[in-house]
Copies of this chain bind each other. A is one copy, B any other.
Amino acid sequence: MEYSDLSVIELRRDLHCHPEVGWTEFRTTAIVAAILDELGFELALGANAVNEASRLGVPSSEEIAAARQRALDHGAPEEYLEQMGDVTGLVATKRYGDGPTVGIRIDMDALKITESTIPDHAPAREEFISRHRGLMHACGHDGHTAIGVGVARAINRSEFDGTLKLFFQPAEEGGRGGKPMSETDHLEAVDHFMTVHLGLGHETGTIIAGRETPLPNTKYDVRYEGAPSHAGHAPNEGRNALQAMSAAIQNLYAIPRHGDGGTRVNIGEVSAPNQQNVIADQAMMRVELRGETPELENYMTDEAVRIVEAAAEMHDVDVARSVYGQTTTFEPDGEMVGIVSDAANAVPDIDHVILREPIAGSEDASFLIRRVQETGGTATYIGIGASNPSGHHTSEFDIDEDAIELGIDLVAEAILQFAA
Contact = CB atoms under 8 A, between A and B. Distances in A.
Interface of A: 173-174, 215, 219, 230-238, 240, 242-243, 246-247, 249-251, 253-254, 256-260, 262-280, 283, 286, 288, 290, 299, 306-307, 309-311, 313-316, 360-362, 393
Contacts of A314: 247, 251, 306-307, 310-311, 314
B243 A299 contact: no
A286 B309 CA distance: 25
B258 A235 contact: yes
Copies of this chain present: 4
24 contacts: A173-B276, A231-B266, A232-B360, A233-B259, A235-B259, A235-B264, A235-B266, A236-B257, A236-B260, A240-B253, A251-B315, A253-B253, A253-B256, A257-B262, A266-B278, A267-B272, A267-B280, A268-B274, A268-B278, A269-B276, A270-B271, A270-B283, A271-B273, A310-B314
B270 A272 contact: yes
A288 B232 CA distance: 10
A233 B361 contact: yes
A94 to B, nearest CB: 35
Nearest to A234: B259
A376 B315 CA distance: 42
A394 to B, nearest CB: 11
Q: Top 7 nearest A-B pairs by Cβ distance? A: A310-B314, A253-B254, A231-B266, A234-B259, A270-B272, A246-B249, A310-B313
A236 B259 contact: yes
A256 B271 contact: no
A92 to B, nearest CB: 29
Contacts of A253: 240, 243, 253-254, 256
Contacts of A274: 267-270
Given A250-B254, A269-B272, A313-B310, A361 B277 contact: yes
Nearest to A312: B310
A215 to B, nearest CB: 6
Nearest to A254: B253
